Structures are given as C-alpha cells and as structure tokens.
Amino acid sequence: MSKTSTGRQTTWVEKALRAALYAVLIIMAAVYLMPFLVMLLTSLKDVEEIRTGTLLSLPSTLDLSAWGKAWGEACTGNNCGGISPYFLNSFQIVIPAVLISTLLGAINGYVISLWKFRGSDLFFAALLVGCFIPFQVILLPMARTLGWLGIANTTTGLVFVHVVYGVAFTTLFFRNFYQAIPGELVKAARLDGAGFFTIFYRIILPLSTPIIVVTVIWQFTQIWNDFLFGVAFSGFDTQPVTVALNNLVNTSFGGKEYNVDMAAAIIAALPTLAVYVLAGKYFVRGLTAGAVKG
C-alpha cells in the first residue's frame, strides 16, 4: 500500500471513528433529554389526551392552559393556585444567600491561603468537616437558633441557614483557587503599603472572576433546588418554589392534572437551566483555573 493510500485510509478511519463518536454522543444526549421532552409534551396536552395517548405522542392541539394554571393566573387577593408567589420567595432567598456566602468564602479563602496565621490549617479542617455534615443533623439545632434569633419561618431565616451551610463550600473553592496565586504578589503589595482589604479588593478580587462564577453557579443551584431546609424552616407564605411544587403535585381536587404538574416542574427548573446554559462554559473554566500553579 502506498504512502498516499495509507494516508487516505487513515483519514477514512478517523472520519468513521469521529462519526461513531458523534452518534454515541447524540444517542446519550437524546436519552438524557428524554424526561424533559416527556414533561414538555405532557404540559402541552389536555388531561383527556394524556390519558388516551402515549408519553411521546405529539399534542393534537397546543394547550397552554396548564402553564397558566401552574403559574397561578387566577389569583384572588394573596391566594394564587400556582407557584408564582413562591417563585419570588426563592429569588428573595437565593440572591442574598449567594452574594453573602460568596463574599465570606472569598475572604476566608484569601485569609487561609495568603495570610497564614496560627491555627489556620485547623480552621480550614473544621470548615472541611462542615462540608460533610448531613443536612438532617443540623435541623434541630438550627431550628432552635432561628427561634432564638427571631427569624424562624421567614425568608431571612432561610438566607441565614444557606449562608451558614454554604460558607464551608465557598471557602473550599476560593482557598484552592488562591493557592495558585504567588504569595510574593501579596508580599510586594504589603511592602508598598497596601493593607489587608486593599490587597483583597484591588489585587485578589480582579483575579478571582473564574472561581466567583463557579461559586455563584454552585450556590445558586444548591439553594434553588433545596427542599429539606425549605420545608423545615419556612412558613406558609415564605415557602420556596420547591416546597410549593411538592404541595402542588401532591394536592389534587378531582382528577389528577399531570399537565399542570409538568408545567410547574419546568417553570421551577427554568432559572437553574438558564444559569447553566448561559454560564456553563465558565463553570468548567473556573474549576480548572486553579488546577496548575504558576
């Protein structure tokens, strides 16, 4: 076989392997997206068509009434049949909890990695232990703490819970990232007269964009999808959307409206889906940004 023909054969084999790889990836993506497709199709059908049709059958006519009912289009005063009021509750919990836990994690990671002090390793070990404490273990002491602080059954209380539980993870992220920053950078700034917060604000934070993105995505997803803390520490009017979704799905009058349940589940998942679609590539970059020092 000639060199040219060998080269052609190699090119053909590479193309075949690439095509097979793409085929496998497409099949796996289709399998992964199948539940979402079933949810979407079900939400666009009426109840009778759901009962008589199949899961993957296309709707005969597009029926968007389930989406309006899931959102709560018919409201009387503060009484809404859907999840719209609780959707706002989740944002009132997520936004401050993410911002506060990210800021505290950045400062903690900055101190532990670049401003060594006596007991810093022990402090970091304690935070690591906090990452592995099961949620169920802290329910009772946290409930007593919230009652003592006077913020039980409030969105402020849920913000406090998520900040306390999330700061261990955010500290771990920032500490590992800051380990890759040369300590000489901080020493040089100190020689120039820069203080603790000046170095943090003017030097460290501008370098922290990748890990900030990672932390925000991680915390946003964890807090938005949380159910246990929401059901344990919220009141009727302060429930996050996950608790409201559970109540909607498990409460029915007359026949079961699967189209409303599917529409509500998709609405509840839209914020996290949007975060991953818009910032997913930055999440991967941020995870690997501090992997190599220098």
- pTM of the prediction? 0.82
Instruction: Please check the confidence at residue 3 and state whether its pLDDT lies above 60.
Output: no
By mean pLDDT, which of 96-105, 150-159, 240-249, 251-260 is the weakest? 251-260
- Report pLDDT for 219: 93
Nearest to 99, CA basis, from 202, 227, 215, 203 = 215
What share of the chain has pLDDT > 70, as a percent? 87
Residues 6+ apart with CB under 8 A from 83: 70, 71, 72, 241, 244, 245, 248, 264, 267, 268
Torsion of CA 280, 286, 288, 289, to 10 degrees: 150
pLDDT in tens, 177-194: 888 888 888 888 888 888
Rounded CA gap, 180 and 109, in Å?
12
Residue type for 229, please?
F
User: Which pLDDT score is estimated for 73?
Assistant: 55
Q: Residue 79's pLDDT band (boundaries 50, 70, 90)?
A: very low
Mean pLDDT of 155-176: 92
pLDDT at res. 12 = 77
Measured CA to CA in angstroms, residue 91 lies from 94, 106, 114, 239 at distances of: 5, 22, 34, 11
Q: Which amino acid, residue 292? A: V
Is pLDDT above 90 for 162?
A: yes
| Domains within the chain, CATH numbers bracketed | 3-63 (no CATH), 79-289 (1.10.3720.10)
What is the model's pLDDT at position 57? 81
